[in-house]
Structure 1
Amino acid sequence: MDSVLPDPTGLDVNGVFYTYTPNKETNADFEVEIGNHNADGTGYVWKETDNWDGVQGGIAIIKNVPLPYVPRSQFGDGFLNTTGEGTVEDASLIYSYKVDPCFNAQADINCPGFIPPTPTIVDMADIYDATEDSVIEQVEVKNTDTKAKDTDVKSDEELEEEERNKRLERAMSITDNSALFAEGFAQSMMLQQMNNSINVTTYLTKTIQGGNYNDSIELEGGNLPDNNGGRRMNWSTQKLHDELVGMQYNLGE
């Protein structure tokens, strides 16, 4: 299930949608079981049994199984088993879930009972100690010799202290960059897993049975005569319009 559902704290599954197409003869006995085992190996979190005995095959089934907000930790491996004469094609399973952002009281300062997290102190030497790098030591020795020749103002102890501080700054910058890269990579992998767990193609490949709606109104005689009343109205309206235009340009004078 690690490749199907993300694993943040406070994730609860509230439903399952599944679809598949059974291929079988109408008279053949065929049964399909689909569900998830419990994580501890005892029983099932959910299980559905579809009996296709005496039913025509080749017709896709779409089913919704509501769940009472089952915690992510209870879900074990999923399964799809068949019994009888037939096969299953185009099977797809979609989980519906929600995440409680305040399941961990340290996740957000706005959560009830917020507990300030304890900072994690990273030992930079365990990640990468730039001061132990032989290449950097050679570069530092060359820089120190050059600066010693250029000026006599600073003592050897002061120069050594400056070089030590610079090495420490480089080591800290390398550590920060590594931590930021690891955090961004982990977030992108989580988003990819959530997107891969949703398959909406099953909703886009279905066709709706329809037909043609023929006209039911017939015209008696097959001819529509002109409306003489409408003709008189159009003539009077046009005459009034011409008079208004003539008044604008003084055409009547």
Structure 2
Amino acid sequence: MTLRASPKALLSMAALALLGAAALASWRPAPSAPAPPEPPPPAPATLSPTEGPAAGAPVQPEVMTVEGEDYRVHVIAFRLANAHFEVVDVEMSRDVAGVLERTRASFVINGGFFDRQRRPEGLVVVDGRELAPLAPSLGGGVLVVSGGRAALHDAAGFVLSPGAHLAVQGLPRLVVSGSRNVRSDGGPRAERTALCVLDRGRRMEAIVARGDRAQSGPTLGLLADMLVARGCEQALNLDGGPSTGVAWREDGGAREMAPRGPIRHAIAVRLDP
């Protein structure tokens, strides 16, 4: 059966359609609520100063040339009353510049010797902590810093007194009681590192003899004569040859003469600003 709408019903439906179309035409979405303002960006964090001691005072090495020789001698002089020592195991690397930054030192030099197994050879003590034991077979001497004074002792029968800030064994003792302690002028030429004691132990000089070639440098006898001429009262030879290296902090940056070969220990010295 087919249903048919009456004309009146059709008119009503048309009217409703027209009203719906008009309503749709006039409809506008209700304005949405304004978005909450974005929070302001956080203020830059204030970083606390780097923990640990302030960076050491910069140094200006004295650089000496030796007539007729192809090496130069860098000398860093300092007073022991203003010095703080640290010895760092660099694990057979050449990274004296890294030690300079990590310890915030004024300068860093290579330390003592190591054996064929790359173990430290010779006494090393810092602030009462022994990093390596005395090596009687090595001989040489032990340089001790205690109470703001430095003294060089014969390694034979040496016994360390309590309270030492630094003790390092090396060989040979280049200068003893202001006099040369090396018998011969001979021996190989090599790059050298040494510590010199002056002013009755109140001052020290770190001596680094380096050339442009690995084999350039003084003999031990020539180095001893040079240190006597500088007024050294005591002086100890540290590891040399390819182990010789130094890094220092200067105004505006840092400088480095890295060792040509790996080293076991580096001696960092931080000087009060």
Superposition TM-score, scaled by structure 1 size: 0.19
Higher relative contact order (CA 8 A, sep 6+): 2
**Greater share of helix:** 1
**Greater share of strand:** 2
Superposition TM-score, scaled by structure 2 size: 0.18
